[in-house]
């Protein structure tokens, strides 16, 4: 595992913390936003970053202002999207030699795509969604994905079959509607946090490797 640098990024709402993991053989930089209830040091990211680094993927994960301030309520969309833009700009300045991808876990991924749909994120070649939050628990629907119609870069959706925030048939409908620019990769037995049950025969470490492999394979096609 390469060393992780702690950085501070300027955003319109003040400075936020970011963590940069830069493997020596990095061939792409993935800018990652966290989910609504957990920041950049959550165990999900701590488990995912090492296999991504093993796959030559550098990562910059960053806090939203509300998480930086210790608040529980997520920032309004305008604030979150402005933070996404600031993080992408900082990433491009830190490693200008690498192709850029952006995305994140749940809320972070959705705010990234919302920003992209409003105005293209400079230099970003594709979006990665680690559990797109398609709807509230028990309330299937697809309206949260309507803005994706305005996203023109390639998109990778990684979704668990037990994800209570993304009914799989509805998720398939969304990605099929988006056409060839969207790829859905299903992780068998995983929930919204990509945790699996012991009886599945798979470990959480194996799931993290599966996610990293999927991102690596897709990013190679997307950025070359």
Q: What span, in angstroms and rounded, lies between the C-alpha atoms of 53 and 72?
A: 30
Q: Long-range contacts of range 7-10, CB-CB < 8 Å, 24 or more positions apart?
A: 7/60, 7/90, 7/94, 9/62, 9/86, 9/87, 9/90, 10/86, 10/90
For 16: left if phi > 0, alpha if psi spans -120 to 50, otherwise beta; the answer is beta
Predicted pLDDT at 199 = 82
Is the Cβ–Cβ distance between 30 and 59 less than 8 Å?
Answer: yes
Predicted pLDDT at 212 = 98
Dihedral of CA atoms 213, 144, 29, 75 in degrees, nearest 10, equals -130
Q: What span, in angstroms and rounded, lies between the C-alpha atoms of 169 and 123?
A: 32
Buried b (16+ CB within 10 A) or exposed e, 79-99: bbbbbbbbbbbbbbebbeebb
pLDDT tens, residue order, the chain (224 aa): 789 999 999 999 999 999 999 999 999 999 999 999 999 999 999 999 999 999 999 999 999 999 999 999 999 999 999 999 999 999 999 999 999 999 999 999 999 999 999 999 999 999 999 999 999 988 889 999 999 999 999 999 999 999 999 999 999 999 999 999 999 999 999 999 999 998 877 899 999 999 999 999 999 999 98
Closest CA to 125 of 96, 100, 92: 100
Q: Read off the pTM.
A: 0.96
Question: Helix or strand or coil: residue 128?
Answer: strand
Q: What span, in angstroms and rounded, lies between the C-alpha atoms of 189 and 197?
A: 7
For CA atoms 192, 194, 196, 201, the dihedral sign is positive
Task: Indicate the CATH number for domain 4-223.
Answer: 3.40.50.1820
At 200, give phi and psi (nearest 5°): -70, -20
Domain boundaries, the chain: 4-223
Report strand pairing: 28-33 vs 100-105.
Answer: parallel
Please, what is the end-to-end C-alpha distance for the chain in angstroms? 25
What number of H helices and E strands is found in the chain? 6, 8
Predicted pLDDT at 206 = 95
Per DSSP, what are the bridge partners of residue 129? Answer: 104, 157
């Amino acid at each position: 595992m390469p060393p992780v640098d702690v950085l501070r990024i300027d955003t319109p709402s003040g400075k936020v913390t970011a963590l940069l993991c830069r493997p020596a053989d990095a061939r792409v930089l993935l800018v990652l936003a966290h989910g609504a209830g957990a920041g950049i040091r959550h165990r999900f990211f701590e488990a995912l970053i090492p296999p991504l680094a093993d796959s030559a993927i550098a990562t910059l994960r960053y806090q939203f202002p509300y998480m930086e301030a210790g608040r529980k309520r997520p920032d309004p969309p305008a604030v979150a999207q402005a933070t996404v833009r600031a993080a992408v700009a900082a990433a491009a300045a830190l490693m200008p030699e690498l192709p850029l991808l952006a995305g994140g876990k749940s809320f972070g991924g959705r705010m990234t795509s919302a920003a992209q749909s409003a105005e293209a994120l400079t230099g970003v070649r594709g979006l990665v969604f680690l559990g797109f939050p398609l709807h509230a628990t028990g309330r299937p629907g697809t309206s949260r994905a309507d803005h994706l119609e305005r996203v023109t870069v390639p998109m990778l959706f990684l979704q668990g079959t037990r994800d209570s925030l993304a009914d799989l048939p509805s998720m398939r409908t969304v990605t099929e509607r988006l056409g060839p620019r969207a790829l859905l990769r299903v992780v068998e037995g995983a929930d919204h946090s990509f945790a699996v049950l012991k009886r599945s025969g798979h470990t959480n470490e194996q799931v993290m490797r599966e996610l990293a492999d999927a991102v690596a394979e897709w990013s190679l096609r997307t950025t070359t």
